Amino acid sequence: MQHAPAEASTTIFALASGAPPAAIAIMRLSGPRTDAILEALAGSLTAPRLATLRVLRHAGEALDQALVLRFPGPGSYTGEDSAELHLHAGAAVIEAVADALLALGATPAEPGEFTRRACLSGRIGLLEAEAIADLVAAETGAQRRQALDQLGGGLSRLYEGWAQRLRLLLARQEALIDFPDEDLPDETEAANRSDLRSLCEEMQAHLADGARSERIRSGVRVVIAGAPNAGKSSLLNALSGEEDAIVSPIAGTTRDAISVRLQVAGTLVSFIDTAGLHETGDAIEAEGIRRARVHAARADLVLSLVEPGAAPEQIVTEAECWVIRSKADLLTAPAAPGELAISTRSGQGLDRLREQLVAAVRRLTAGGAGASLTRARHRAGVEEAVVHLRDAQVQTWPELRGEALRLATLALGRLTGRIGVEDVLDTIFGQFCIGK
């Protein structure tokens, strides 16, 4: 990873705690002027990493009585001289301290700028920085546990281990190229091919398992599809316990997807109510139907609602698709084997549906205990490495095989942040909150 020199940076500050009023507000500082600013506000420097009670003053006026913590670089979170001011969390106090920091030469931090500096100084890796963002955004226990696992460095160690094995393969390959007349062991070429095949298989297994962890991070997508008036909106409302979707006897009431996020079995699930599937000459309704089919194609699970006496709609999806007979109170015959009959009016079948949803969510998020990719960026990087490894396996020219190995190593390096990360930093840290 390329390191940014701390002395070349500005000194930044931001409120790291919630909005006032509250009991305590934490103002963070980081950068080369941190110690000078602390001296100006607190009268003198406090001992490192020791909470010290001081009266903060500026321009002859007392601003607040605060706890001051100083973290000298490079052992701080950002790798720079840093500090925290634990203030009384009144709006007037926070505003007065912020004004003083501005006057003393500090600059308001951008979203994620503290963690960005930690990443650029080498204190944390790019994958750990992403884990911090996921931990801050975690809504469920599963998301929290997954983010903590990644923050612990498991994913970085996996990718760095692969990169190290690739570098060893590349070194062997270059030895075959540079010293063709030397008596290199006959087993070298066979060992290279065996190790290459093993690496490729490991990465492919990692990609296959990635869908599970991506669902934990982003949520399981359950799409409710079917013909108009099949009861899709009523089912969404029954599952959420709220009137999230408009229910009307008029066909075509839902023209665009309505998404409701709920926790099921400790996992975030997005239930998506879609437009009724049918032929129509209405351009707006047709666009809603097109979007409904796109949602179904991308779903993790499709609930295909069918009215009594009607045939199920043809839904193109690779996901599991459950046929659910709605309006069970109007059924004149039992539901067919494999179908579930429900009535949102009487509640019939809803408890059984909820039980099956819990089992499905657990199944969709179950997997191994190893490190898993969690973002589209991770998937794209590993997929790129696999493409180059497959290329290396079929190359007959040693030079071309070596180039493919080098490209695979670069793809993994971009994932961990060891090389070429400038183009992704703005995207990653722009998703952070200010003060982190």
- Residue numbers in the known binding site are 28, 84, 123, 229-234, 248-254, 273-276, 436
Annotated binding site for (6S)-5-formyl-5,6,7,8-tetrahydrofolate: 28, 84, 123, 436
* Secondary structure of 21-71 in HEC code, one letter for each residue: CCCEEEEEEECCCHHHHHHHHHCCCCCECCCEEEEEEECCEEEEEEEEEEE
From CA 412, how far away is CA 409, in angstroms rounded? 5
Q: Which residues pair with 88 in a beta bridge?
A: 24
Q: Under a CB-based contact definition with an 8 Å cutoff, are residues 324 and 232 in contact?
A: no
Q: Under a CB-based contact definition with an 8 Å cutoff, are residues 233 and 247 in contact?
A: yes
Annotated binding site for K(+): 229, 248, 250, 253
End-to-end Cα distance, the chain: 20
Helix axes 350-365, 187-218, angle to 10 degrees: 150
User: What would the two tokens of residue 11 be?
Assistant: 């000194």
Query: 278 Cβ partners below 8 Å, 6+ apart?
Result: 227, 228, 251, 289
Spell 110-144 as b/e; 16+ CB within 10 A means b: ebbbbbbbbbbbebbbbbbbbbbbbbeebebebbe
Helix or strand run (H / E) with residue 354: helix 350-365
The CA angle 180-387-129, to the nearest 5 degrees, is: 110
For the CA atoms of the chain, what is the radius of gyration?
Answer: 29
Helix or strand run (H / E) with residue 301: strand 301-306
Q: Under a CB-based contact definition with an 8 Å cutoff, are residues 402 and 174 in contact?
A: yes
Annotated binding site for GTP: 229-234, 248-254, 273-276
Which class for 379: exposed (0-12), middle (13-18), buried (19 or more C-beta within 10 A)? middle
From CA 413, how far away is CA 434, in angstroms rounded? 28
Annotated binding site for Mg(2+): 233, 254
